[in-house]
Structure 1
Amino acid sequence: MQDVYMSRLHELTIILYALSVLFYFFDFMHNNQRANKTAFWLLSFVWALQTSFLIVYMKDTGRFPVLTIMEGLYFYTWVLISLSLAINRLLKVDFIVFFANMLGFIIMAIHTFAPVHESSGKIAEKVVSELLFIHITAAILSYGAFSLSFIFSVLYCVQYNLLKKKQWGKRLIRIPDLAKLEYVSYLLNVISVPILLIALILGIQWAIIQKPDFFWYDPKIVGSFIVLLIYSIYLYLRATNKLRGKNIALLNIMNFLMVMINFIFIGKFSSFHF
């Protein structure tokens, strides 16, 4: 009975999430503040429900829910919503929550409607350790920050094109200036890269201890180090002023595509990521 109840709550969450996306899209197209406020409160309610689910799940399982791909997707969505709401609150960036919402809704839908594999839970119980917990949590936090950095770069390109085409209007005014968008995007990557590095170091240490047949050229490890490398190159080019403006924004967008490929697809070919 409890499982049915929780399932219905998950369905309600995805419906509210969809409504929030629709209201944010309406606001994006028509600059409607009432729609913006409605979408914000819907998203806040979704965040509260997700937080409750996480607490209940941790109480039932006795561990933090990041040890399977479905748990990771759910926690990733929660991190994305939390960071976007916080940034919107602190920096008053109207469209950041809209774009983060679209990305988070896609991930949430994948989590909600994906088939359940009981074996994943059994495997997760076997690999519980503080080292693994910190590794996965740090990796997902870094991916969440990379996601928001990507969204700021997308907004930069939108604002850049509006200015270039001289399309003055309310939408142009509501998007922050180019310098602010570029700086916040850069700052998020500055935070994300060392967190990802820590996650990789701890993950490799765990693998060496737990997996006698561990090998360095595992696809997931290679993919993660590629992500670390391309973002390190981004930071170098931005810090030395060798690449600025729209070019650095486009590079950041391309980098994020590699993040998604590594997070969603490459892990399927790993010998120990499941």
Structure 2
Amino acid sequence: MVTQDWLTDAVLYMYALSLLFFVSDAASGNRSARRVGTGLLVFVWVLQGAFLMALLFDRFSVPALTIKDYLFFVSWLLVSASFMLNRLMRADLLVLLVNVVGFAVLALNLIERPKHDAALQPWEVARRLLLVHVGLITIAFAILTVTAVLGLMYLFLHSRLKKKKWTQVMNRMPSLERIDQYAYRAGLIGVPLLLLSLSTGTAALLTEGTAADLMDGKVLLSFAAGIAYVVYLIRRLAGKDDGSKLAGWNLLGYGLLVTGFFANSYSSFHQMI
């Protein structure tokens, strides 16, 4: 067993099996494999949703967050995003890549390890603001993960086309123009959510009277990510850069966001283990 619970093992195995069917479809255009993979993924999504409801019920009255809870929600959001992408764009390879990221997040999350709470100080007065902050940044992180995957796809396809090295995998990818459009549209959703989460987090600190914590390393990295994303959107809207440079701004913002998420040594109050 990967974990110490048969039900979570079953979710992992079904998720992995669905990815294998998606890979089969991406490699050979096997429509029946895609249908089976989608069915398994729907079952995984339903089970994850049930787990989340149980977690929300358990955590509702306790303003504590564990990294297990956070990553589980991110994984569920990525599965949900893959369904929407599949419905709206019919981009098979993009759906596969998003689900690979979602599976990696879920697998790392479910492997048995000691439970630790996120070391957030109990903000009694700002508790509701904190809950809104956590919810917004979780959703923003999931959407911006999709944006980052699109950025990587753009750079990969651009590099291959520049070197005139065409492969069958590239036949399954959208055009550079469409990838750029999809990334921009996802950014238009994810970036405002990120900025809203930063504003509510800032309001919570000010309400609690701990404004000095705004200079915390993780907070500064999050604000730097927000600035990078704003620059990305502005330059995309103004047509200042080509697609590869825009993808670079996109990935810079995501890199800062992920670095801030794991940079426990730079934070005195906002740690996750």
The normalised TM-score by structure 1 is 0.86
Percentage identity across paired residues of the two chains: 29
Q: How does 1:109-258 map to 2 (within 5 A)?
A: 109-117=107-115, 120=117, 126=122, 129-164=127-162, 165=164, 167=166, 169=168, 171-210=169-208, 212=210, 214-258=212-256
Cα deviation, residue 37, structure 1: 2.1
SS at match of 1:188: helix
Structure 1 pair 124/161, CA: closer, same or farther in 2 (3 Å)?
A: closer
The alignment covers a number of residue pairs equal to 266
Q: Residue 121 of structure 2 contacts residue 269 of structure 2 at CA under 8 Å; is this kept in 1?
A: no
Q: Residue 152 of structure 1 contacts residue 182 of structure 1 at CA under 8 Å; is this kept in 2?
A: yes
Q: Residue 218 of structure 1 contacts residue 270 of structure 1 at CA under 8 Å; is this kept in 2?
A: yes
Cα deviation, residue 271, structure 1: 1.7
Gaps of 5+ in 1: 1-5
Q: Residue 70 of structure 1 contacts residue 111 of structure 1 at CA under 8 Å; is this kept in 2?
A: yes
Structure 1 pair 13/237, CA: closer, same or farther in 2 (3 Å)?
A: same
Structure 1 runs (4+) greater than 6 angstroms displaced = none
Cα deviation, residue 166, structure 1: 6.0
Q: Residue 97 of structure 2 contacts residue 149 of structure 2 at CA under 8 Å; is this kept in 1?
A: yes
**Using the alignment, how far apart are the partners of 1:236 and 1:86 within structure 2?**
26
Q: CA offsets, 1:127-165, max 9 Å, x none?
A: 572211110110111111111111222232344345442
**Using the alignment, how far apart are the partners of 1:127 and 1:86 within structure 2?**
36
Tell me the equivalent position of 1:3: none
Q: Residue 144 of structure 2 contacts residue 186 of structure 2 at CA under 8 Å; is this kept in 1?
A: yes
Amino acid at match of 2:244: K
Q: Residue 156 of structure 1 contacts residue 246 of structure 1 at CA under 8 Å; is this kept in 2?
A: yes
**Using the alignment, how far apart are the partners of 1:65 and 1:35 within structure 2?**
43
**Using the alignment, how far apart are the partners of 1:204 and 1:115 within structure 2?**
32
Cα deviation, residue 175, structure 1: 2.0
> Cα RMSD over matched residues?
2.7
**Using the alignment, how far apart are the partners of 2:186 and 2:264 within structure 1?**
24
Gaps of 5+ in 2: none
Tell me the equivalent position of 2:10: 12
Amino acid at match of 2:259: I
Q: Is 1:90–2:88 an aligned residue pair?
A: yes
**Using the alignment, how far apart are the partners of 1:245 and 1:16 within structure 2?**
37
